[in-house]
Chains A and B, each alone.
Chain A
């Protein structure tokens, strides 16, 4: 989250935090663990009223950003969600909203965005497949062109909120190129397999597409040319995810320090021991670095900076690695109670581990950085 927020953004941050604290405190997050969807649809509509789903939607369709820099606005919410490991498909919905706003036809926007805006319908992003990789080369699902139709075949996996989604933005292959298709969940040939993750509230599922035939007007942009569009969506996903991990790491450190100041061993607070203080100092460094690179990524998305791909991979590699390491070390500092259900730190460990893996692991992004200077996608 940028340091130089506008007044509107500052207000948005404050209302978002208040809303999360009062509507989905950690006790609620814990109870959502036992629900199938992991979030409450009425609550999601309240969140939508606060503007969570409107940031990327054009003003002509009732949306609008706070500052003209929607990614910068959106990372504010993502970071706050990280602080309270909040439920809701914020990332997936906004990536699809942005994709339609950036690349969709008027008809597609009209068809999908009104429901997304109000929170009544959920649109989600279906990019990865069974091998769990978020790169173009791994897409084997096909989008065949047949007259005025497009026909989809394949299986999309790791699809967030698949079980409740009304729309899937499916990335498929047409020959050498990529094609994105807007698929209604009830289209013939679509089979959704619901799934869970180690996260308390975040659910992922598989979407099998068997001879799913849709009118060509369901194609977002032009068939076979969606490569750059998909990259841009991935950059946004990584920005939102990095911001969430910043919130996860910072909040985990905060409550670990509160605990460590009050917990005594050998007559002194445990966090007075240098062995712990020095690790905590290193965490403060990487949290500051994580914030800096996340902000830079969001700004790069908003300004179409040519360095955006590099920043996206650097952000994921850096924040993804350090966030989980911080949470992990906070478990160690917390001691035995840190590996119980009762203590909250596992809620953060769950989210950090899932975030680390989704949309490309730090290792995968490092592999990109090692061989080319461009980074993600």
Chain B
């Protein structure tokens, strides 16, 4: 991503992207185009993985080019395959950072083409925040690894092709030194794998799943990074995840800016709140809630833009993405709460015998998702205070002792 001299200027790229987007990408108001098909369209025209190196199927340009492209997408209300945010914004960059040449050549082009969709296998029934405490076992036998244990909350595992799985390969080493990451195929009923969809809080079949691994065989070539070096892979994954959620860096993919209309600061749509307030004629405290939503809708994207710029210029380093992740997830929760308050009883009660899901009440039930998924707000605050501001780390009782001596969950976990 250096050597800007021999790279197409952002201006010419912007101009040609604009023309291409106008001619080719469907509008948000048009029928929904299937994710993989849409990604294939981007790939075939050189707009998939804009900041990925060419040798792995990317466009070989910079994050600035990527940002230009997705800004046009947002301005023009165009569809992009935002369901691939995890693959392209998180897993791809993690493989780029950590994979061998062969691994990158094997996995990145199909990922960018939309042929292989990825998701993350990190959280477990045992816990999600303490990711390095994984109790999934990975054991090598010749050219094959065998995986045992279970993962939980895995978004989209039922339709994804691969999961990036963090597991424990050495139980005698201290917590962080016995981890490995490996690509786990999910489709076609591979032996040793059971996937169950979790029922979401709305009552519907959830987007997330639980996986059970029972001596699941995996080729040794699927290992991402070295054996027992899984923690550094996981850290780079978390870094990209925060960025993707905060709309920063390689994670600037337009998904979260969707639906803002031309020139609007997007991400949060205040329109429905205003309409509800007008309809119901509630003043005072409600006005403050609307104003707070307006403020978030303006400040959050400006903040992530500032951090993106800072990372580019080098004035910002490391874990700044946590600022945006924390900010935007709190805002989303705040807006869901405002909608609940402003819409009142009508958001919770309806006529007829059918369950209805399209209401502020049901959205409220899932509103904490944003402050839990991708590292809870508390974990972001730990990262910001410790990694960004250098404050003393939390005392921990599980470091520097063999992992099999560490205290774990009591009872049923």
Could you list which residues of chain A lie within 8 angstroms of chain B, going by C-beta atoms?
A: 3-4, 257, 261, 268-269, 271-272, 274, 277-278, 280-282, 284-285, 288-289, 291-293, 295-296, 307, 310-311, 314, 317-318, 363, 365-371, 373
CA distance A289 to B328 in the complex (A): 11
B300, B302, B326, B380 pick with most chain A CB within 10 angstroms:
B302
B295 within 8 A of A: yes
With A284-B388, A284-B389, A310-B298 as given contacts, are A274 and B306 in contact (CB-CB < 8 Å)? no
Interface residues of B (CB under 8 A from A): 263, 286-288, 290-292, 294-295, 298-300, 302-303, 305-307, 309-310, 313, 315-316, 320, 323, 326-327, 378, 380-386, 388-389, 391-394
Check if A257 sits within 8 Å of B391, measured CB to CB: yes
> Top 3 A-B pairs ranked by shortest CB distance?
A370-B287, A366-B291, A272-B392
A281 CB contact (under 8 Å) in B307, B316, B380: B380
User: Which one, B287, B306, B385, B393, contacts A292 given CB within 8 A?
Assistant: B306
Residue of A278, A282, A288, A310 near B306 (CB, 8 A) is: A288
Let me know if A296 and B389 touch, CB within 8 A. Answer: no
Contacts of A257 in B (CB 8 A): 389, 391
Nearest-Cβ distance from residue B3 to partner chain A, whole angstroms: 20
> B-side binding surface: helix, strand, loop or mixed?
helix
Given A272-B391, A367-B291, A292 contacting B327 (CB threshold 8 A): no
Known contacts A3-B313, A274-B394, A370 near B306 by CB under 8 Å: no
**Structural contact, A292 and B391, CB atoms closer than 8 A:** no
Partner of B326 from A285, A296, A369 at Cβ < 8 Å: A285
* Contact present for B385 and A293 (CB under 8 Å): no
- Collect the chain B residues with CB atoms within 8 Å of residue A288's CB: 303, 306-307, 320, 323, 327
Contact A271–B391 (Cβ < 8 Å): yes
Closest to B304 in A: A292
B187 to chain A, nearest CB (A): 39
A291 touches which of B295, B306, B313 (Cβ 8 Å): B306
- Complex interface: chain B residues within 8 A of A268 (CB): 392
Q: Say whether, besides A4-B313, A277-B382, A281-B385, A317 and B391 are in contact (CB < 8 Å).
A: no
- Provide the bound-state CA to CA distance between A296 and B263, in Å: 14
Q: What distance in Å separates the Cβ of B377 from its nearest Cβ neighbour in chain A?
A: 9
From A4, A280, A296, A367, give the contact of B385 (CB < 8 A). Answer: A280
In the complex, the answer to whether B323 meets A277 with C-beta atoms within 8 Å is: no
Question: Do the beta carbons of A318 and B385 come within 8 Å of each other?
Answer: no
What 10 new A-B contacts, CB under 8 Å, besides A271-B385, A280-B389, A366-B291?
A: A3-B316, A261-B391, A274-B382, A277-B382, A285-B323, A285-B326, A288-B327, A296-B302, A318-B295, A366-B292
Cα(A79)–Cα(B241), bound, Å: 32
18 A-B pairs with CB atoms under 8 Å apart are A3-B316, A280-B385, A281-B389, A282-B326, A282-B381, A285-B323, A285-B326, A288-B303, A288-B306, A289-B299, A289-B302, A289-B303, A292-B303, A292-B305, A311-B298, A366-B291, A367-B291, A370-B287
Tell me the minimal C-beta distance from A15 to chain B in angstroms.
Answer: 20
- A317 and B293 CA atoms in complex are apart in Å by 12
Whether A293 contacts B288 in the complex (CB less than 8 A), given A277-B385, A277-B391, comes out as no
Asked if residues B391 and A293 are in contact (CB atoms below 8 Å), the reply is: no
User: Which chain B residue lies CB-closest to A306?
Assistant: B263
State A61–B104 Cα separation when bound (angstroms): 62
Distance in angstroms between the alpha carbons of A373 and B298 in the assembled complex: 11
Which one, A280, A310, A373, contacts B391 given CB within 8 A? Answer: A280
